[in-house]
Structure 1
Amino acid sequence: MITGMAITVEKPGIDGLNEAVAALREWQSEGVAWQLHPGDLGWFWRNGADATAAAVRLWRRDGRILAVGFLDGADLLRLTTAPDLRRDEELARQLAEDVAAPERGVLPEGQVSVEAPMDALLQDVLPGHGWHVDEEEPWTPLSLDLTEPVKAPDLRIETVGADLAAEWAEVIGASFTRSTFTAEKWRTMAAGAPYADARCLLGYDGQGAAVAAVAVWSAGPGKPGLLEPMGVHRDQRGHGYGRAITVAAAAALQELGSSSATVNTPSSNVAAVTTYKSGGFRPWPETRDLTRDA
């Protein structure tokens, strides 16, 4: 139980944002419930450091970061805590109060959702404050153990630098509906603190066309790494390129020292879940957000 000084919530500046990335790196470990990863902030960093800082919330006590929240859109707060405080009553109550009060600047009024580790006490506290489990949009976490060598995929793979940024952006743009990703956004993302432990990969078919792309984010040696995003060009689907780029992503994370490769996808995206399974990823129990109706 935390006692003594009050727990406060803040919108960090750039220094606080870098502290948040460092905390998320430190908190990653094997065998725990799915949680916010530094790579999640790294992918959002394509919008710029200021926008990323504006989307982050920090809970502190006496200078220590106790929890990190990330507004992944206006109505979804993705949240995690220091591992030793996952079941702390005082922190859970404070988090519940802050996400419920729009004037505290965490979530707005209206219908909003919170994603938190399934073993967090907040999962038990929020339903008593007008929240309910969202049964309509479950997510499937998947992971691949990297303690054994990963076999190289049957696809030419290139690591992306500034010279391939436009090509990577083109494939990502052709993989996701309404994507606005550009080469300039790649450069912005690559300049962010999380990208120090990241790589972007491009996969090419036998004719030399770029057909698949992925970004991988390490949290440091011996810790789980993240795939975010992974996409196959809409005109190149059905040839096994998704599986191949997924295996390449796992191999890249292994080279970076990651203990496992992880990914999280909507359970309704059956094609994505099937692709990851075909690459050797093992599904974990589904996760669900907590939602407060308008």
Structure 2
Amino acid sequence: MTIVLDKPGVDGLPVAVDALRGWQRDRAMQLHPGDVGWFWRFGAEATARAVRTWSRDGRVLAVGLLDGSTLLRITIAADAQQDEELARRLVEDVTDPERGVLPAGKVNVEAPMGARVQALLAERGWRTDEPWTPLSRDLSEPVKAPDLRVESAGPERAELWAEVMRASFEGSTFSKERWLAMSEGTPYTDARSMIGYDEQDAAVGVVTVWSAGPGRPGLIEPMGVHEDHRGRGYGRAITVAAAAALQEMGSSSALVATPTSNVGAVATYASAGFDKLSEVRDYFRES
């Protein structure tokens, strides 16, 4: 049978998330269930509109997330990353605006490094964009608790979590309602949000971690430090706490990614015991 492109709808989102869980590998940065979970802050219907799946004979081979209207993040089953038919169908679907995947104009596609689809995009004239640095921390050894009080955040602390989140990222409009929407998503069954407090009990940072199941890498997304409390090591401390939480949840490693140009973030994660992996780049076309 041929490759089938589908919008799974709200009812089909658990199938896409389960496929993503099964594809996660240590030291391989790719679309993670936590990425879909973080997007769920916009609600289930919006998430369903943003997700695409490509299947053959009823088996999901690739999952894509429209992270904004012009960026499609795709990951592919390990045994299908060199599948010629799948790669050609993916390229056709992202290149032709009439397919309803990406619009005309400048658009970006993220795909697993070394997958056949990357070579085919390059052949079509797509170019590589600015680099991102993925980082990974192995969790096979005990993670020492940081010198920072970090507590789990449930619905009763959603407003505080959102407040610190807004203060961590310029222009952020994150709200209690978005945290609650995120927490209702399928991926959040394997997630944990936390708040870090200083010695005066001020909330100084927030983080959410996402498990893909025991023995698989977990994801940190997002992590932020309140603008009034930067430069005191809180970013490192809450990142270590995030790694410890993922270890408790059975994750084999912790993954995070940041633009390579954000040297401060790269340094923070490295100081928290994360190893830099090979840089990754989106592919883009101008029109």
Letter in 1 for 2:22: E
Give TM-score scaled by structure 2 length. Answer: 0.99
The one-character-per-residue Cα deviations of 1:1-60 (angstroms, maximum 9, x if unpaired) are: xxxx111111121122111101000111224x3210000000000000000010011111
How far residue 178 of structure 1 moved from its aligned partner, in angstroms, is 1.2
Q: Secondary structure, in 3 states, of the residue corresponding to 2:281?
A: coil
Is it true that 1:215 corresponds to 2:208 in the alignment? yes
Partner of 1:244: 237
What is the rounded CA distance, in whole Å, between the counterparts of 2:244 and 2:29 in structure 1? 21
Q: Report the alpha carbon displacement of residue 240 of structure 1 after superposing the two structures with TM.
A: 0.3
5 Å-filtered alignment, 1:203-282, equals: 203-282=196-275
Measure, in 2, the Cα distance between the counterparts of 1:113 and 1:30. Answer: 25
From 161, 170, 187, the equivalent of 1:168 is 161
Q: Secondary structure of 1:149's match?
A: coil
Aligned twin of 2:6: 10
Q: What's the secondary structure of 2:218's corresponding residue?
A: strand
1:62, distance to aligned residue in structure 2 (A): 2.0
**Cα distance in 2 for residues equivalent to 1:52 and 1:85:** 25
How many angstroms does 1:129 deviate by?
1.3
Which runs of 5 or more residues in structure 1 are unaligned? none
Instruction: For 1:8 and 1:278, locate their aligned partners in 2 and report how far apart those are by CA, in whole Å.
Output: 44
Deviation by residue 1:156-185 (Cα, 9 ceiling, x = unmatched): 111001111111111111001111111111
- 2:187 is paired with a residue of what secondary structure? helix
* Identity %, equivalent residues: 66
CA distance in 2 between counterparts of 1:208 and 1:189 reads 26
- Partners of 1:133 and 1:19 in 2: CA distance: 31
- Asked if residue 56 in structure 1 is aligned to residue 78 in structure 2, the reply is no
Map of 1:122 onto structure 2: 117
RMSD: 0.8
**Are the aligned partners of 2:10 and 2:48 in contact in 1 as well (CA < 8 Å)?**
yes
Q: Within 1, Cα distance between the matches of 2:262 and 2:171? A: 17
The answer on whether the counterparts of 2:108 and 2:284 sit within 8 Å (CA) in structure 1 is yes
Give the distance between the partners of 2:194 and 2:97, measured in 1 at CA.
40
- Aligned partner of residue 144 in structure 2, secondary structure: coil
Unaligned runs of 5+ in 2: none
Q: What is the rounded CA distance, in whole Å, between the counterparts of 2:86 and 2:96 in structure 1?
A: 16
Q: Secondary structure at the match of 1:289?
A: strand
CA offsets 1:82-117 (integer angstroms, 9 cap, x no match): 111011111111111111011111110011010011
TM-score in terms of structure 1 length: 0.96
Q: What is the alpha-carbon distance in structure 2 between the residues aligned to residue 187 and residue 34 of structure 1?
A: 27
What do residues 223-272 of structure 1 show as CA deviations (whole Å, max 9, x unaligned)?
A: 00000000000010000000000000000000000000000100111110
List per-residue Cα deviations over 1:48-75 (Å, max 9, x = no partner): 0000010011111122111001011111
Aligned residue runs from structure 1 range 78-89, under 5 A: 78-89=73-84
- The separation in 2 between residues aligned to 1:12 and 1:105, in whole angstroms, is 14
Counterpart of 1:287, as a letter, is: V
- Counterparts of 2:148 and 2:127, CA distance in 1: 45
Aligned to 2:98: 103
TM-superposed deviation, 1:81: 0.7
